[in-house]
Amino acid sequence: MGANDTGLIGQAVRRREDLRFLTGAGQYTDDVNPPHHTHAYFLRSPHAHAKIRKVDTAKAKAAPGVVAVFTGADLEGVNGLPCGWLITGTDGKPMNEPPHPVLAQGKVRHVGDPVALVVAESPHEAKDAAELIDVDYEVLPAVVNCVAALKPGAPQIHEQAPGNKCYTWALGDKAAVDAAFAKAAHVAKVDIVNNRLIPNAIEPRAAVASYSRADDSYTLYVASQNPHVERLLMTAFVLGLPETKVRVIAPDVGGGFGSKIYLYAEETAMVWASKRVNRPIKWAAERGEAFVSDAHGRDHVTHAELACDGDGRFLAMRVVTTANMGAYLSTFASCIPTILYATLLAGQYTTPAIWCEVTASFTNTVPVDAYRGAGRPEATYVVERLVHQAGVDLGIAQDEIRRRNFIRTFPYATPVALTYDTGNYDATLDGAKAAADVAGYAARKAESGKRGKLRGIGYSSYIEACGLAPSNVAGALGARAGLFEAGEVRVNPTGGVTVFTGSHSHGQGHETTFAQVVAAKLGIDIETVEVVHGDTGRVPFGMGTYGSRSLAVGGTAIVKALDKVIAKGKKIAAHLLEAAEADIEFRDGKFTVAGTDRSKAFGEVALAAYVPHNYPLDKLEPGLDETAFYDPTNFTYPAGTHICEVEIDPDTGVVEVARFTACDDFGNIINPMIVEGQVHGGLAQGIGQALLENCVYDAESGQLLSGSYMDYAMPRADDLPSFQVETRVTPCTHNPLGAKGCGEAGAIGAPAALMNAVHDALLGVGVKHLDMPASPHRVWQAIRAARG
């Protein structure tokens, strides 16, 4: 942070947001109760695929307490939900982008597809009335698997997407890859499924939409990670309203993990309906609804090959992936298995040639979009499973084969479009090995063996591209939005500082971390800094929080605004101190004439800006309030090594995570306590994917079989070990904080580390391949099958 660092940077400052959460004073969307509000209930399709012959709402409209009932036919002039990223296929054509109606129009395409909105005086009345809606469905055959959907004869889901194809897209030099494979001494191969996950933030999605006749405006409270993006998409693309007439507030939000980035049908329909009923409308999803309406994550089927020379040096990689988009394109769905996936396939390695082809298909399932890590966990899983396999095939130790291929000179341009600015992969590998006590592994394995247990160890040396993104680069790749961030620093007359950030906190602790940054930079008491986020009515603009971008991009926008505040403060101070502006230094909260003890405190300068009696009014505006927009010049590249040790009971197939160690490089760290918490949470989700979680649809009926907490295995406290978490630092070279981002690392690195450990443990019994999750049932079956 430099000269004005007051010691706050790098401190485990306890979180200021905790007090309200610990006393029940948080305000989540479902806690918002505007006067005279009504309640919404969405009638959803019970079928995976069906034509709607007729919808009869007469009985529902007459039911007690019902205010209104709306179906797709009522939403005249309302457009479909947009997709924010255009992918251009290998055929040079834009992706197939079928309409995504807010309420079903003529057809339903997944279980949970919303068909009607009932507005009533109470939630019970809305729900009871929905049961009286008579929908005449003609049930059609369904397809849920992304590969099956592309087969000839598969049920056709959209007219606009022949063969259920969204796009086939490729990245990399195919000819160079083919040539390298032709002369390779060895080719390692894996066929893997990246299992579909359901995000399951513990706060279900919720919204409260109100309309004001006074000025023809709308206010929407919504559990969202990016209220400005929500407003932009809803007004400009769907409802045709001016942005000035819609205020979106994302108050306290109970976790997101990606699932609350998107513009959803429910809040869009509610904003529209709030004017029709002229009363506020409130909705909170039931968990069962969340399962069939929150965007899901992952769901890839991949064949991948790694060409090596005789020494285990990587020559080329070839990856062919099919990705499930679900029934419609969610907001960022199209870029996840392409731009955020194929570009990461170099990993931490110098593989000179890489080619990846991705085909995205539509299926009769809930739309799939970014979920913690978004594309990067899938890429890491491919790379690290391949590297593990190559090590096994060639008889090279897992740390050694990684080390032989590490990138060590920076900046490094990968063959898949990214340029890594900095990193030290040896440091994180060494750090992880030491913390994991790899030296003691052999003894632990022997001890497990004595108890009849199979022990295995797995590595995952991951990289991620975070801090999205240079907007022009993203634009060239098909992004339909900018990816900068905005920050405003308002110095109040008495010296307190209000910071408005476009980043959104739904657990990340920005109110604390950002206050640390501001207080350190201004040399003021952290208690005088207030951080405001999540309200389009107060924050100038914002792209929100996803892709581990908040500190690197949102934090930098604040730093840029602070620079402007300090620059103006110097001018004011120069006037007050009757010195040349060039001679004013700002340090420790004071503007000082260089080489003298003449100074003005930050608060004195602030007061002068608002009480400009002695002030250069001819040259300078009063006030001290600056805004900055920051568009990064590159992605940031957090990286690290995770090491997992598992112990498997061959009689039951139960996999126990015996040890899990992460050594990560997130660049500079402002609050290590918060960073460690982010890593823990990410690891739990990564381990959840590898060990427990699996979204399962019935292949015939398209019914969601894992549609509740009884069927979808969420990680619980007793499923997880205590993690060993360490960091190493190479500061990011292109933002002033030197920060890279930490929110997704755990979810990105953990699945491969765990599955590599499982494969290592099962190697001796002859199990060659196992897909996630490594549930007892699957592991037991694999052991049985291998033993014959």
Binding site for another protein (CB under 8 A): 12, 14-15, 17-28, 30-31, 124, 200-204, 252-255, 257, 284, 286-288, 506-509, 673-674, 676-677, 680-685, 708-710, 714-718, 720, 722-723, 746
- Residue 149 binds which one of ligand FES, another protein, none, with CB within 5 to 8 A depending on kind? none
CB of 521 to another protein, least distance (A): 24
In the complex, residue closest to ligand FES by CB: 202
Measured CA to CA, the distance from residue 34 to residue 25 in angstroms comes to 17
- Residue 681 binds which one of ligand FES, another protein, none, with CB within 5 to 8 A depending on kind? another protein
CB of 201 to another protein, least distance (A): 6
- CB nearer to another protein: give 33 or 90: 33
CB of 201 to ligand FES, least distance (A): 7
- CB nearer to another protein: give 417 or 713: 713
- CB nearer to ligand FES: give 206 or 271: 206
**Inter-residue contact 154 to 164 (CB < 8 Å):** yes
- Residue 723 binds which one of another protein, ligand FES, none, with CB within 5 to 8 A depending on kind? another protein
- CB nearer to ligand FES: give 18 or 159: 18
Q: What is the per-residue DSSP string for 462-506?
A: EE--BS---HHHHHHTTBSS---EEEEEEE-TTS-EEEEESS--S
Q: Is 96 helix (H, G, I), strand (E, B) or coil?
A: coil
Question: Rule CB under 6 A: is residue 202 a binding residue for ligand FES?
Answer: yes
Q: Is 416 helix (H, G, I), strand (E, B) or coil?
A: coil
**Stated length of the chain:** 788
- Residue 113 binds which one of ligand FES, another protein, none, with CB within 5 to 8 A depending on kind? none
**Inter-residue contact 457 to 211 (CB < 8 Å):** no
Q: Which two tokens stand for residue 26?
A: 């948080």
Q: Which two tokens stand for residue 780?
A: 């037991």
CB of 123 to ligand FES, least distance (A): 15
Among 98, 456, 507, 638, binds ligand FES (CB under 6 A): 507
Measured CA to CA, the distance from residue 542 to residue 483 in angstroms comes to 9
Question: Rule CB under 6 A: is residue 710 a binding residue for ligand FES?
Answer: no
- CB nearer to ligand FES: give 280 or 544: 544
CB of 709 to ligand FES, least distance (A): 8
CB of 506 to ligand FES, least distance (A): 8
CB of 507 to ligand FES, least distance (A): 5
Measured CA to CA, the distance from residue 429 to residue 435 in angstroms comes to 10
- CB nearer to ligand FES: give 254 or 736: 254
- CB nearer to another protein: give 24 or 440: 24
- Residue 377 binds which one of another protein, ligand FES, none, with CB within 5 to 8 A depending on kind? none
Measured CA to CA, the distance from residue 227 to residue 536 in angstroms comes to 7
Question: Rule CB under 6 A: is residue 582 a binding residue for ligand FES?
Answer: no
- What is the footprint of ligand FES within residues 240-259 (CB under 6 A)? 254-255
**Inter-residue contact 762 to 648 (CB < 8 Å):** yes
How many binding residues for ligand FES (CB under 6 A)? 4
**Residue 423 region by backbone torsions, left for phi larger than 0, else alpha for psi between -120 and 50, else beta:** left
- CB nearer to ligand FES: give 254 or 456: 254
- CB nearer to another protein: give 686 or 736: 686
- Residue 459 binds which one of ligand FES, another protein, none, with CB within 5 to 8 A depending on kind? none
Measured CA to CA, the distance from residue 459 to residue 389 in angstroms comes to 11
Q: Which two tokens stand for residue 244?
A: 């000035």
CB of 283 to ligand FES, least distance (A): 17
Q: Which helix (H) or strand (E) holds 661?
A: strand 655-665
CB of 260 to ligand FES, least distance (A): 12
CB of 34 to another protein, least distance (A): 14
Q: For strand 655-665 and strand 724-727, is the pairing parallel, antiparallel, or unpaired?
A: parallel
CB of 399 to another protein, least distance (A): 25
Q: What is the per-residue DSSP string for 511-568?
A: HHHHHHHHHHHHT--GGGEEEEESBTTTSS----S-TT-IIIIIIHHHHHHHHHHHHH
- Residue 152 binds which one of another protein, ligand FES, none, with CB within 5 to 8 A depending on kind? none
- Residue 18 binds which one of ligand FES, another protein, none, with CB within 5 to 8 A depending on kind? another protein
Helix, strand, coil in percent for the chain, rounding step 5: 30, 25, 45
CB of 597 to ligand FES, least distance (A): 49
Measured CA to CA, the distance from residue 546 to residue 376 in angstroms comes to 13
**Inter-residue contact 207 to 270 (CB < 8 Å):** yes
Contacts 24+ apart (CB under 8 A), 234-242: 234/263, 234/267, 234/268, 234/271, 237/79, 237/81, 237/82, 238/78, 238/79, 238/80, 238/81, 238/82, 238/102, 238/263, 238/268, 239/78, 239/79, 239/268, 239/271, 239/272, 240/77, 240/79
- CB nearer to another protein: give 18 or 311: 18
Please, is 175 exposed, middle or buried when counting C-beta atoms within 10 Å of its C-beta (0-12, 13-18, 19+)?
A: exposed
- CB nearer to ligand FES: give 199 or 377: 199
CB of 391 to another protein, least distance (A): 28
- Residue 183 binds which one of ligand FES, another protein, none, with CB within 5 to 8 A depending on kind? none
Q: Which two tokens stand for residue 108?
A: 């339903």
Measured CA to CA, the distance from residue 368 to residue 373 in angstroms comes to 13
Q: Is 435 helix (H, G, I), strand (E, B) or coil?
A: helix
- Residue 412 binds which one of another protein, ligand FES, none, with CB within 5 to 8 A depending on kind? none
- CB nearer to ligand FES: give 74 or 719: 719
Which spans of this chain sit near ligand FES (rule: CB under 6 A)?
A: 202, 254-255, 507
